């Protein structure tokens, strides 16, 4: 595991630990919440899926168990993470199969690692954030290790205001 993935794994553990423990956002903007912690200085904005679709063999899959389904942007200045886009699907993704993110006409590949996925580099992070400020929904499609296909839809209402707030809180 390289240093970047290790740092990201630690960051994701902090974030999901905070979300899972029902940490209250320090600010809310429509469908997005802003969160922060001080040691280390960490700021992120997150939203949960407004629509979740699970299928197997082309048919709706009932009784699918998933954990938190969250799309988030992270600022961790101490680790030179500035606006990293991440997705937690609530299940382990099928290895070596890209997770697909669609915002309007723009499409992006996210690299899966366990139950999380993110872009290959910060340039793609930037493109995704710009698309998110212009779009109305983000749709993420993936497949689990068990073969369940998922399609999660996130509202982007309030995203731009939440992004500005998180950046300000982290001094970016």
Three-class SS state of 6: helix
Question: Residue 24's pLDDT band (boundaries 50, 70, 90)?
Answer: confident
Which of 160, 77, 73, 162 is CA-nearest to residue 124?
Answer: 73
Instruction: Please tell me the predicted confidence (pLDDT) of residue 151.
Output: 98
- 3-state class percentages of the chain: helix first, strand second, coil last, to nearest 5: 25, 40, 30
The percentage of residues in the chain with a pLDDT greater than 90, rounded to a whole number, is 80
Instruction: Give the model's confidence band at 99: pLDDT under 50 very low, under 70 low, under 90 confident, else very high.
Output: very high
Report pLDDT for 122. 94
CA angle, 120 then 124 then 130, to 5°: 150
Structure tokens at 148: 């369940």
Average pLDDT, the chain: 89
CB-side exposure of 7: number of CA atoms within 13 Å? 14
Is the pLDDT reported for residue 150 higher than 80?
yes
Q: How are strands ordered across the β-sheet holding 32-38?
A: 27-29, 32-38, 41-48, 70-76, 81-88, 116-118, 106-113, 99-103, 137-143, 149-155, 51-56, 59-60
CATH architecture for the domain at 3-169: Sandwich (2.60)
Measuring CA to CA, which residue among 167, 126, 141 is closest to residue 69? 141
Whether pLDDT at 82 is above 90: yes
Higher pLDDT, 37 or 7: 37
Predicted confidence at residue 3, as pLDDT, reads: 40
Q: Compute the distance between CA of residue 165 and CA of residue 51 in angstroms, rounded to an integer.
A: 25
User: Hey, where are the domains in the chain?
Assistant: 3-169
Q: Does the pLDDT value for residue 75 go beyond 60?
A: yes
Could you please report the per-residue DSSP string of 48-85?
E-SEEEEEETTEEPPS------EEEEEEEGGGTEEEEE
Q: What single-letter DSSP state applies at residue 153?
A: E
pTM for this predicted structure:
0.88
Per-residue pLDDT of 100-133, as tens digits, reads 999 999 999 999 999 999 999 999 999 999 999 9
Looking at residue 63, what is its pLDDT? 87
């Amino acid at each position: 595991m390289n240093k970047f993935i290790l740092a990201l794994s630690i960051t994701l553990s902090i974030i999901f630990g905070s979300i899972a423990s029902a940490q209250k956002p320090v600010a809310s903007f429509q469908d997005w919440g802003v969160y922060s912690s001080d040691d280390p200085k960490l700021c992120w904005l997150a939203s949960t899926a407004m629509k979740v679709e699970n299928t197997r063999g082309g048919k709706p899959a009932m009784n699918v168990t998933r954990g938190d389904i969250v799309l988030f942007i992270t600022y961790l200045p101490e680790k030179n993470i500035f606006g990293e886009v991440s997705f937690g699907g609530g299940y382990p993704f099928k290895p070596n199969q890209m997770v697909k993110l669609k915002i309007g006409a723009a499409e992006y590949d996210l690299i899966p690692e366990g139950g999380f996925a993110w872009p290959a580099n910060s340039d793609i992070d930037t493109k995704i954030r710009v698309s998110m400020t212009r779009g109305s929904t983000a749709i993420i499609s993936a497949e689990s290790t068990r073969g369940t296909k998922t399609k999660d839809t996130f509202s982007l209402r309030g995203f731009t205001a939440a992004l500005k707030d998180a950046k300000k809180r982290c001094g970016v």
